Structure 1
Amino acid sequence: MFFSLFLKGLNKLIDLLIENGQVFNAFLKCFERKNIAIINDRFYYIKETNLRYLNPKEIVDASDKFIIPGLIDIHMHIESSMIPPSTFSGAALFHGVTTVVADSHEIANVFGIEGIYAFMAQDTVMDIFYAIPSSVPSTVPERETTGGIIGTAEVTELLEHPKVIALGEAMNFKGITSEPDSLIRNILQTVQTNKPFMPLEGHIPRVEGEDLAKFMYAGLNADHTHQSPESILEKIGSGIFIELQKKSLTKENIAVINEHQLFEHVALITDDIMPDNLIEGHLNANLRLGIQEGLDPVDAIYMSTYTPARRMGFQDRGAIASGLKADFILLNDLESFAIDCVYKDGRLVHRSGDALAFDQEALDFPSHFYSSVNCAELTLDDLRIPVSRDVSEVMCNVIQIQSVGTFTEHVKRPVKVKNGYLDWEASGLSLIIVQERYGKNRQVGYGLVEGALSDKGAVATTWAHDHHNLMVMGTSSEDILQAQREVLSLNGAYVVSQDGEVVATCPLPIGGILSDKALPEIGRDLKAVRQAMVNLGYDNTNEIMSFSTLSLPVSPQIKITDFGMMDVHTHQLIPLMED
């Protein structure tokens, strides 16, 4: 039908003509002054000569603009923004992101496959494709309790959904490298059998040598975790595709990529962006940071559009060329990446100065998604940790956090014993507790943290990677109890208590991980939580993510779940106190 209309009269088909812009040519990696004709939702003709003979319905003068494809983020988690897909779509388009590949293992950890379907059912203007969550739970049910489990049956079902185009990050180090019959190995085999050409995403932190070969032998050939110059060279040299998130966009890493011309093997991604940060930027912010750290703007754009499109097998986007989707951005300049306007499917969806749209009715979640936190209030007795031996001091295993990133170290510290109980409040450490919240087993894990809170207070959340049980950490019993009670009353939240009073809250009533408010409102709430954590002495480049990932048992080196502290590589539980 299209071609019959085409033959009857081309002048009836041209919807939009963009004139005189500096157009990004992804194939030659340069900008060229050209005109762009668009029919419906696709690019029709790109040429340096006058195209007005095509009789367009609308003409846009872009004589002082740079025109690039819409940004493509192939590794990200919508839930990190604490908003649903319908809200996220408008926020990301605001920043020039027109396509994402979302690994929604957070909602899957809470509601299983039902959560994934609830996400995929939401109407969005931007294109949201999905990577099947491969790590729900991230380890095994004997090490962390989740609300749902994604097994081979669920994977087989999801493989048939048209929005599913990849397998999400495989994280279980032990299951991948040394357990042939593990759930993750069975999931990998299921995908490789049914969809042999589907991209398989890996979570490969601090893995090298033969261990890296084991990951690749299992089929994993991409990594998005924290990189160094050495890891970039080894992984790319071995055949791993690298996805650089913000913490890996350093001068040293960019220098290696530039020196070895590795642009074909690298994409810029976000992975996780908190709502207060999303207000300021998304993938465009990481692109801008990459330029600041040494990337040529042309290479930064290439690694945010064309390279990620090829990694995911997209044949219809990632460049400005005849026949591809008309997703594009008009920029005022390259260095600051200042967006003038954004087009999706040939339609203007954002112009600089526009307010961020929000549609409350588009959320559309089942009612039980709003009542998913099911655990008991803590009491003072729950915080009294008995010491079985008659000693004045006991050696404790401790999670030591870092000021940059989410990695931790396993250290040992002596803690005084008072009247037969661990005197953790006088130790200079923080007590951390993880409560199973799904009503399955009432499991509770205990640990100690160094380098977290220095003042009297507590922070609590149900946004605890990846199992999303209720986690609370504090330096005083009074504040721990106060913060935990507030989280329960809100059916999920981020809460900070100081000197016995709640000083900041960010309600997350949808599954304990998502807000039903507009982005500016939740961004303001989380910013207040972040500042309250800083006021208590929390020192990290991303306080929210640092705390939330203390419960992520696949991120080095020692983390905590509702079963207790755990060695990430061996999955061995680590006792709070040494014998």
Structure 2
Amino acid sequence: MNLRQLIDASEGVVKADRVITGGTLVNVCTGEVYPADVAITGDRIAATGDVTAYIGEHTEIVDATGKHLVPGLIDGHLHLECSKLSPTMFADAVVRYGTTSVISGLDQILVVAGVDGVREALREAEQSPMKIFWGAPFKTPYTLPETTVGFNFGPAEHEETQDWADCYGVWETVAEFVLNRDPDVLRALELAHRNRLPVFGCAPMASSTTINALSAAGIRLDHESYTAEEALEKLRAGMYLLIRESSVAHFLNENVKTVTKFGAQSRRVGFCTDDMHVADILREGHLDKLVRMAIQAGVKPIEAIQMATVNCAEMYRIDHLVGSITPGRYADVLIIDSPESFQVERVFSRGVLAAENGRTVTAPAAPERSAALSPAFQVPELAASAIGIAAAGDSAEVLVVEMDRTVPFVRTRLDLTLPVKGGVVRADVAQDALYCTVSERYGKTGATATAMINGFGLRSGAIASSAAPDDNNIVCVGANREDMALAVNHLAAAGGGQIVVENGEIKEFLPLPVAGIVADIVPEEMAAAEDRLEAAARALGCELPSAFGYLIFLEITAIPDYAVTDLGVISYHTQSVVDTVLTSR
């Protein structure tokens, strides 16, 4: 719909395609709740209130008597690829719960399939009931020191993509790159300032000086606060705050205290899910769940709804398109029972009924995939004997990466004495010291790095995944080197997936053929596969809340204290590869 047509529709010159009548409008712009009808023409809202003049001979009447009308929900920061669903299938999973817009960098597709892959994913989303507002990743890879990815993204790519009509900012600017004055990143931020694009941040466990520096650099918002105090400090420094509640990182009840305990203005606070398992979405909902959680935590219903709608739209400067039920915006309208209980009954996206009673009205149909989204894995066959850390003597004191069981993603250090056989440090199941490997998949180095890791609790077998932000190399944890080699080699040959192996037998395997990280399967099928994988990992002895949820994030170097990449064990504090053999004897 062009501007002239939009004005005609909003003046009533062109009659509405449909009118939602009898409902009570939740006006997130004013904080009011009052009876009002909504006129929709094409994919936009034409008018609200008394819309009698907009009803024509062919106008469809939608009865919402006794119900409330709220805007479509906006996920303020989402790696949709971490769901392991393609954009089409992910839309089917979340639209049924009222999520009609997401902010995403599609960075996992980018590092595998490049700019062409991102374009293809954005075109795909245009055919779904879920809009993707894309932010150009600040730089790839995100890792310090730089690891191996399929495609690097730097200033030249920013020069191109920041001019795209569907680029809405700079995505997930990791704090360390700003603090290091990385010239490529500073150039990306300078371009964003020139182009009047917002810059999105990523600063977990940030100090006061870090927060000051990021605010000065123009970081507009952040989604990585581990405490309410940290979140409040970011708000006080002029940033907007996104409260995250993901499948693994449960921070809503903590960070919502910025509003309920410290009295911060809720209008600068939004919601995001970051990374979601499909099984969790189907069991508990998506952003609608966050709205209910916030209300239960003491946030007023209208404020919780604003956090999930207009607040996100305003912080990303897309409130002229989404976030409210007002003239000219996309006709993303939810019919719910009440603001207090917030149960989504019907979902209109772009003016069309997209979901009703927890189901989408049209079965999702994935598009044909180009070669860009089907790259072959170029991983040399991994031999079991190649897995291990070289050491002399009969034993060695080794730096073991330790999973923090209470704070998601955080990895600390545990020094253990481990056996050495044949010049290689061996796993010790009794001490929960397992092998961890990362195998480069793009054919650039052919390297497989080995570390020792504690916290997974496997007594036997191995688990592995080719969906592993931020690089999507193949990450594997195991108690048995032969099982690990089988797992890695199977994923490489199959073109990607997640797998559980024990005693030379594949117990569970989920193919992820699209870029080696997502699949074109319906959400229910993905949820069942996730449950089977987790059950198989538990059968090996894993007691983490989510074996694969913790596994896939081992490569992220932006979270203290240690990461494992294709280069080896990385220290967050020194941003360098560390030697893990401390002494041998």
- Distance in 1 (CA, whole Å) between partners of 2:536 and 2:92 is 29
Cα deviation, 1:471-494, whole Å, max 9, x if unaligned, reads: 111011232123223212321111
The answer to whether the Cα contact below 8 Å between 1:435 and 1:469 also exists between their aligned partners in 2 is yes
- Distance in 2 (CA, whole Å) between partners of 1:552 and 1:165 is 24
Q: Which moved more, 1:462-471 or 1:334-343?
A: 334-343
The residue that corresponds to 2:281 in the other structure is 278
The answer to whether the Cα contact below 8 Å between 1:316 and 1:323 also exists between their aligned partners in 2 is yes
Cα deviation, 1:100-130, whole Å, max 9, x if unaligned, reads: 2211111111122222122123233332220
Shift of 1:438: 0.5
The residue that corresponds to 2:179 in the other structure is 177
The residue that corresponds to 1:242 in the other structure is 241
Q: 1:443 aligned to 2:447? A: yes
Q: Which moved more, 1:232-241 or 1:292-301?
A: 292-301
Shift of 1:258: 2.1
> 1:20/1:261 Cα in 2 relative to 1: closer, same or farther (>3 Å)?
farther
- Distance in 1 (CA, whole Å) between partners of 2:582 and 2:362 is 54
The residue that corresponds to 1:386 in the other structure is 390
The answer to whether the Cα contact below 8 Å between 1:87 and 1:358 also exists between their aligned partners in 2 is no
Cα deviation, 1:295-349, whole Å, max 9, x if unaligned, reads: 2222111101110111111213211223332211001233442211111222211
The residue that corresponds to 2:270 in the other structure is 267
Shift of 1:55: 4.3
> 1:3/1:214 Cα in 2 relative to 1: closer, same or farther (>3 Å)?
closer
> 1:130/1:455 Cα in 2 relative to 1: closer, same or farther (>3 Å)?
same
Partner SS for 1:239: coil
- Distance in 1 (CA, whole Å) between partners of 2:574 and 2:488 is 31
Shift of 1:397: 0.9
The residue that corresponds to 2:82 in the other structure is 80
> 1:240/1:12 Cα in 2 relative to 1: closer, same or farther (>3 Å)?
closer
The residue that corresponds to 1:554 in the other structure is 558
Cα deviation, 1:469-524, whole Å, max 9, x if unaligned, reads: 11111011232123223212321111011233211111111111011322222222
Q: Which of residues 46, 51, 62 is equivalent to 2:48?
A: 46
Shift of 1:20: 2.1
The answer to whether the Cα contact below 8 Å between 1:69 and 1:329 also exists between their aligned partners in 2 is yes
Give the counterpart letter for 2:229 in structure 1.
E
Q: 1:572 aligned to 2:558? A: no
Partner SS for 2:289: helix
Give the counterpart letter for 2:474 in structure 1.
L
Shift of 1:567: 1.0
Shift of 1:373: 1.4
Q: 1:483 aligned to 2:487? A: yes
Shift of 1:434: 0.6
Shift of 1:6: 6.8
Which aligned pairs between 1:334-373 and structure 2 lie closer than 5 A? 334-352=339-357, 354=359, 357-360=362-365, 362-367=366-371, 369-373=373-377
The residue that corresponds to 2:206 in the other structure is 207
Q: Which moved more, 1:433-442 or 1:205-214?
A: 205-214
Q: 1:198 aligned to 2:197? A: yes
- Distance in 1 (CA, whole Å) between partners of 2:458 and 2:565 is 23
Shift of 1:437: 0.8
Partner SS for 2:552: helix
Corresponding pairs, count:
569
Shift of 1:5: 6.0
The residue that corresponds to 1:189 in the other structure is 190
- Distance in 2 (CA, whole Å) between partners of 1:347 and 1:117 is 25
Give the counterpart letter for 2:427 in structure 1.
W
Give the counterpart letter for 2:142 in structure 1.
S
Q: Which of residues 138, 143, 150 is equivalent to 1:147?
A: 150
Q: 1:316 aligned to 2:318? A: no
- Distance in 2 (CA, whole Å) between partners of 1:456 and 1:401 is 18
Cα deviation, 1:386-429, whole Å, max 9, x if unaligned, reads: 313x3x43111111112241111122222122354323245531
Q: Which moved more, 1:19-28 or 1:241-250?
A: 241-250
The residue that corresponds to 2:230 in the other structure is 231
Q: Which moved more, 1:349-358 or 1:221-230?
A: 349-358
> 1:226/1:403 Cα in 2 relative to 1: closer, same or farther (>3 Å)?
farther
The answer to whether the Cα contact below 8 Å between 2:116 and 2:372 also exists between their aligned partners in 1 is no
Q: Which moved more, 1:342-351 or 1:421-430?
A: 421-430
Partner SS for 2:21: strand
In structure 2, stretches of 5+ residues that fail to align are: none
The answer to whether the Cα contact below 8 Å between 2:391 and 2:425 also exists between their aligned partners in 1 is yes
Q: Which of residues 159, 164, 167 is equivalent to 1:164?
A: 167
The answer to whether the Cα contact below 8 Å between 1:375 and 1:435 also exists between their aligned partners in 2 is yes
Q: Which of residues 286, 289, 292 is equivalent to 1:288?
A: 292
The residue that corresponds to 1:118 in the other structure is 120
The residue that corresponds to 1:498 in the other structure is 502
Q: Which moved more, 1:278-287 or 1:102-111?
A: 278-287
Shift of 1:62: 1.4
- Distance in 2 (CA, whole Å) between partners of 1:15 and 1:357 is 20
The answer to whether the Cα contact below 8 Å between 1:406 and 1:545 also exists between their aligned partners in 2 is no
Q: 1:58 aligned to 2:60? A: yes
Q: Which moved more, 1:128-137 or 1:239-248?
A: 239-248
Give the counterpart letter for 1:188 in structure 2.
L
The residue that corresponds to 1:410 in the other structure is 413
- Distance in 2 (CA, whole Å) between partners of 1:70 and 1:217 is 33
Q: Which of residues 53, 68, 71 is equivalent to 1:69?
A: 71
> 1:490/1:290 Cα in 2 relative to 1: closer, same or farther (>3 Å)?
farther
Q: Which of residues 312, 328, 336 is equivalent to 1:331?
A: 336
Shift of 1:96: 1.0
> 1:419/1:37 Cα in 2 relative to 1: closer, same or farther (>3 Å)?
closer
Partner SS for 1:89: helix
Give the counterpart letter for 1:544 in structure 2.
F
Percent identical among aligned pairs is 24
The residue that corresponds to 2:38 in the other structure is 36
> 1:544/1:334 Cα in 2 relative to 1: closer, same or farther (>3 Å)?
farther
The answer to whether the Cα contact below 8 Å between 1:249 and 1:289 also exists between their aligned partners in 2 is no
Partner SS for 1:309: helix
Partner SS for 1:131: strand
Partner SS for 1:290: helix
In structure 1, stretches of 5+ residues that fail to align are: none
- Distance in 1 (CA, whole Å) between partners of 2:479 and 2:548 is 18
The answer to whether the Cα contact below 8 Å between 1:407 and 1:557 also exists between their aligned partners in 2 is yes
> 1:245/1:148 Cα in 2 relative to 1: closer, same or farther (>3 Å)?
same
